[in-house]
Amino acid sequence: MAQQYSSVLLEKAVNEFAKLPGIGRKTAMRLVLHLLRQDTSMVEAFSNALVTLKHEIKYCKKCHNISDTDLCGICANPLREASVVCVVENIQDVMAIENTQQFKGLYHVLGGVISPVDGIGPSDLQIDTLVKRVEEGGIKEIIFALSPTMEGDTTNFFISRKLSGFDVKLSVIARGISIGDELEYTDEVTLGRSIVNRMPFTGIN
Amino acid sequence: MAQQYSSVLLEKAVNEFAKLPGIGRKTAMRLVLHLLRQDTSMVEAFSNALVTLKHEIKYCKKCHNISDTDLCGICANPLREASVVCVVENIQDVMAIENTQQFKGLYHVLGGVISPVDGIGPSDLQIDTLVKRVEEGGIKEIIFALSPTMEGDTTNFFISRKLSGFDVKLSVIARGISIGDELEYTDEVTLGRSIVNRMPFTGIN
C-alpha cells in the first residue's frame, strides 16, 4: 500500500532520496527528517555540493580519473614515475591504491571490465586510449590491477593481446592469501594458486 | 589514514553525504558516484527537492504534524472525527497509523517522549498544547499510541496526570502478541501481559 504523506514537499524529497541505490523508503524518510532538523545553511551546503560537483567535474584527459582540472593531480605531478601505468577498473580503485602509498606511477581508469553478461564490451571501456598512451611511447610497464574475477582476467587478457606488439612489460598485482588470514579458512582456489605461485622468501614478504 | 581524493569537488560532496546518519564514507562515495552518472536534471531535482522542503515546510498549528499548509490535511478534513485524538511520538508514527486505515480521528504529535537520560523533559514536548486542545473542549477520547517502553509509559503517565481534571476518556493502544507470531518465540513480558490483559473472544479478534 502507498505511504500516506501529510506533505507533498516531504514526499518529493523522500522520493528523490529513495532513487539512490541501497536507500529504501524508510531510510530515505529518516535522512530527510534528519536534514529537516539541520540549519538551512547545512541543507543548502549539501545541495550545492552535489549540483556544483555535477556541473564542474572533469575527467582527466590522460588517465580518465575524476578531476577538477583537465589533467588530474596524479598525472600532472612531475614526481610520479610516468613510465609505469597501473590499469584499474574505477576511481575507487585509484583511491584504494593511493591509500597504500606503495605506488608512485600513473593510472589508467578503464571505467569497468569486459562483461558480456552485463553487455559491456571492449569498446565501452577506455582500452583504445590506453593503447594510444603506449603507442606514444615512454611507458615501460603496465600493471594490471583489476579484480581477480573471470571478467577481470578476460579484460587483462584482451588488453595484453592489444599490447602484444609493443615493447612494454606486463605485470599483474600479486594474488595469494591475505595478510593476517588463517590458512584453514582460505578458499581452496586462492590457497592452491598461492602454492603454485610461491615467491622466494626474503624475510620481509 | 585520510582518503586521497583526486577532486576537491568530489571530496566535498562525499563529506556532505557522510554527515547523514548511518551513511559512512564508502556509502557516501557510492551515492555520489551514482549521482554523477545521472543526468544533470536529475541531480538538480534531487537538490531542489531538499532545499524547497527546508524552506517551505510547515508544522500543523493544531497537531504539529509536518504539513505544506498552516493546518495539515488531516486536521482540515471535516470527515475526520475531531473528538478522538491519538497521541504519537513523531510523524513516522502518524504515517504508520494512517497506513492501517483503521483510525478516523485526529493526531497530536509530541515530538518525542520524556527521557531524562537524553535530557528530554515535558517542556521539550508538545504536551502543553495537547492540554490546551483538551481545555478548548470537543475532545472525548485521547488514545496513547507511544512505544511500549519505559519512556513511552512515563510520558503516558505524565500526560494522564495533566489531564486528570478533564472529562476525557484515556485509552492506550492494545498490547499483546503480534498477529502471526509464534507463542513459543514471544518474549515473556509480552506473553505474560497478554494473558493478564486477555480480551473477550468475539470470533474476529
Average pLDDT (A82-100) is 91
Query: What does the mean pLDDT of chain A come to?
Result: 90
**Confidence bin at B1 (pLDDT 50/70/90):** very low
| Domains of chain B listed by start with CATH number | 8-56 (1.10.8.420), 77-173 (3.40.1360.10)
Cell of A27: 531510510
Among the listed residues B91, B164, B14, the one whose alpha carbon sits nearest the alpha carbon of residue A46: B14
Which of B100 and B122 is assigned the larger pLDDT?
A: B122
Q: Determine if residue B119 is left, alpha or beta; phi over 0 gives left, psi from -120 to 50 gives alpha, anything else beta.
A: left
Report the alpha-carbon distance of residue B18 to residue B27 in Å, rounded.
8
What local confidence, expressed as pLDDT, does residue B205 receive? 63
**Confidence bin at A119 (pLDDT 50/70/90):** very high
| pLDDT over threshold 90, residue B2 | no
How far lies B104's CA from each of A55, A76, B99, B156, B179, in Å? 48, 66, 12, 21, 22
Closest partner CB to B21 (pick from A21, A34, A72) = A34
CA dihedral B150, B151, B157, B163 (to 10 degrees): -160
Among the listed residues A197, A7, A148, A159, the one whose alpha carbon sits nearest the alpha carbon of residue B63: A7
What local confidence, expressed as pLDDT, does residue B3 receive? 55
Cβ within 8 Å of A, B 46-85 = 46-57, 60, 65-68, 72-74
**Confidence bin at B180 (pLDDT 50/70/90):** confident
Q: pLDDT tens for residues A140-193?
A: 999 999 988 899 999 999 999 999 999 999 999 888 888 888 878 888 888 888
Query: What does the mean pLDDT of chain B come to?
Result: 90
Closest partner CB to B57 (pick from A9, A52, A92) = A9
**Three-state DSSP state, B171:** strand
Cell of B6: 583526486
Contact flag A32-B53 (C-beta cutoff 8 Å): yes
Average pLDDT (A106-135) is 95
